[in-house]
Structure 1
Amino acid sequence: MSLALGDNPAHVEPSGDRLPDEDEFYLLNVGARLAHLLAVCSHLHAIPIMVGTFRSTPESAAASTAT
Protein backbone atom coordinates (compact mmCIF):
# COMPACT_ATOMS: atom_id res chain seq x y z
CA MET A 1 0.00 0.00 0.00
CA SER A 2 1.77 3.15 -1.14
CA LEU A 3 1.15 6.35 0.81
CA ALA A 4 1.24 9.99 -0.20
CA LEU A 5 1.83 12.88 2.21
CA GLY A 6 -0.46 15.87 1.82
CA ASP A 7 -0.15 19.35 3.30
CA ASN A 8 -0.31 17.94 6.83
CA PRO A 9 2.50 15.40 7.42
CA ALA A 10 0.59 14.00 10.43
CA HIS A 11 -2.24 12.91 8.13
CA VAL A 12 -1.49 10.31 5.47
CA GLU A 13 -3.82 9.66 2.55
CA PRO A 14 -3.62 6.17 1.01
CA SER A 15 -3.18 6.28 -2.75
CA GLY A 16 -4.86 2.91 -3.40
CA ASP A 17 -8.59 2.36 -3.89
CA ARG A 18 -8.72 -0.96 -2.07
CA LEU A 19 -9.34 -1.54 1.61
CA PRO A 20 -6.47 -2.97 3.68
CA ASP A 21 -6.50 -6.71 4.25
CA GLU A 22 -6.55 -8.21 7.75
CA ASP A 23 -2.78 -8.03 8.28
CA GLU A 24 -2.47 -4.46 7.00
CA PHE A 25 -5.43 -3.39 9.11
CA TYR A 26 -3.81 -4.96 12.19
CA LEU A 27 -0.48 -3.22 11.49
CA LEU A 28 -2.18 0.14 10.95
CA ASN A 29 -4.00 -0.19 14.28
CA VAL A 30 -0.88 -1.34 16.13
CA GLY A 31 1.06 1.58 14.64
CA ALA A 32 -1.59 4.07 15.71
CA ARG A 33 -1.72 2.66 19.25
CA LEU A 34 2.09 2.65 19.48
CA ALA A 35 2.25 6.28 18.35
CA HIS A 36 -0.33 7.21 20.99
CA LEU A 37 1.58 5.28 23.68
CA LEU A 38 4.84 7.05 22.79
CA ALA A 39 3.09 10.44 22.94
CA VAL A 40 1.71 9.61 26.41
CA CYS A 41 5.16 8.45 27.56
CA SER A 42 6.71 11.72 26.42
CA HIS A 43 4.06 13.61 28.40
CA LEU A 44 4.73 11.46 31.47
CA HIS A 45 8.44 12.13 31.08
CA ALA A 46 7.78 15.90 31.22
CA ILE A 47 5.69 15.79 34.44
CA PRO A 48 8.63 15.86 36.92
CA ILE A 49 10.10 18.85 35.08
CA MET A 50 6.80 20.71 35.23
CA VAL A 51 6.22 19.89 38.89
CA GLY A 52 9.79 20.83 39.79
CA THR A 53 9.51 24.25 38.17
CA PHE A 54 6.02 25.06 39.51
CA ARG A 55 5.72 28.38 41.32
CA SER A 56 2.64 29.29 43.30
CA THR A 57 1.25 32.69 42.35
CA PRO A 58 -1.57 34.65 43.96
CA GLU A 59 -3.76 33.83 40.95
CA SER A 60 -3.16 30.08 41.27
CA ALA A 61 -3.76 30.21 45.05
CA ALA A 62 -7.06 32.05 44.47
CA ALA A 63 -8.09 29.54 41.80
CA SER A 64 -7.41 26.57 44.09
CA THR A 65 -9.45 28.05 46.96
CA ALA A 66 -12.34 29.07 44.66
CA THR A 67 -13.33 25.46 43.96
Structure 2
Amino acid sequence: MAELTGAQWRKSTRSGDNGGNCVEVADNLPGLVAVRDSKDPAGPTLTFSPTAWSTFVRTAKVEA
Protein backbone atom coordinates (compact mmCIF):
# COMPACT_ATOMS: atom_id res chain seq x y z
CA MET A 1 0.00 0.00 0.00
CA ALA A 2 1.30 3.43 -0.93
CA GLU A 3 2.15 5.94 1.79
CA LEU A 4 -0.32 8.81 1.42
CA THR A 5 0.69 10.91 4.43
CA GLY A 6 0.84 14.51 3.29
CA ALA A 7 -1.46 13.98 0.32
CA GLN A 8 -3.16 17.21 -0.73
CA TRP A 9 -6.50 16.15 -2.19
CA ARG A 10 -8.34 18.29 -4.74
CA LYS A 11 -11.45 18.01 -6.87
CA SER A 12 -11.59 19.03 -10.50
CA THR A 13 -12.75 22.58 -11.08
CA ARG A 14 -15.22 20.99 -13.51
CA SER A 15 -16.87 18.94 -10.76
CA GLY A 16 -19.30 21.70 -9.85
CA ASP A 17 -22.16 20.82 -7.55
CA ASN A 18 -23.18 17.39 -8.78
CA GLY A 19 -24.40 15.93 -5.52
CA GLY A 20 -20.99 14.83 -4.31
CA ASN A 21 -20.28 12.38 -7.12
CA CYS A 22 -16.65 13.39 -7.52
CA VAL A 23 -13.21 11.93 -7.46
CA GLU A 24 -10.34 13.61 -5.68
CA VAL A 25 -6.76 13.52 -6.87
CA ALA A 26 -3.53 13.99 -4.93
CA ASP A 27 -0.61 14.66 -7.26
CA ASN A 28 1.79 16.23 -4.80
CA LEU A 29 3.43 12.99 -3.65
CA PRO A 30 6.77 11.90 -5.12
CA GLY A 31 6.42 9.18 -7.73
CA LEU A 32 2.67 8.61 -7.56
CA VAL A 33 -0.76 10.07 -8.14
CA ALA A 34 -3.57 8.93 -5.84
CA VAL A 35 -7.30 8.95 -6.66
CA ARG A 36 -10.24 8.43 -4.29
CA ASP A 37 -14.02 8.85 -4.07
CA SER A 38 -14.84 12.19 -2.43
CA LYS A 39 -17.82 10.61 -0.61
CA ASP A 40 -15.55 8.09 1.14
CA PRO A 41 -12.22 9.74 2.03
CA ALA A 42 -11.29 6.84 4.33
CA GLY A 43 -12.13 4.28 1.66
CA PRO A 44 -9.95 2.66 -0.97
CA THR A 45 -7.49 4.65 -3.06
CA LEU A 46 -6.14 3.94 -6.51
CA THR A 47 -2.53 4.88 -7.19
CA PHE A 48 -0.84 5.48 -10.51
CA SER A 49 2.59 6.45 -11.70
CA PRO A 50 2.67 10.07 -12.89
CA THR A 51 3.21 8.82 -16.45
CA ALA A 52 0.21 6.46 -16.32
CA TRP A 53 -2.00 9.20 -14.84
CA SER A 54 -0.91 11.73 -17.46
CA THR A 55 -1.69 9.22 -20.21
CA PHE A 56 -5.13 8.53 -18.71
CA VAL A 57 -6.00 12.24 -18.45
CA ARG A 58 -4.78 12.97 -21.98
CA THR A 59 -6.80 10.05 -23.38
CA ALA A 60 -9.93 11.04 -21.42
CA LYS A 61 -9.73 14.58 -22.83
CA VAL A 62 -9.53 13.24 -26.40
CA GLU A 63 -12.52 10.92 -25.83
CA ALA A 64 -14.70 13.59 -24.18
TM class by shorter chain equals under 0.3
Greater CA radius of gyration, 1 or 2? 1
| TM-score under structure 2 length normalisation | 0.28
More helix by share: 1
Give the alignment's TM-score, normalised by structure 1.
0.27
Structure whose residues are more often strand by fraction: 2
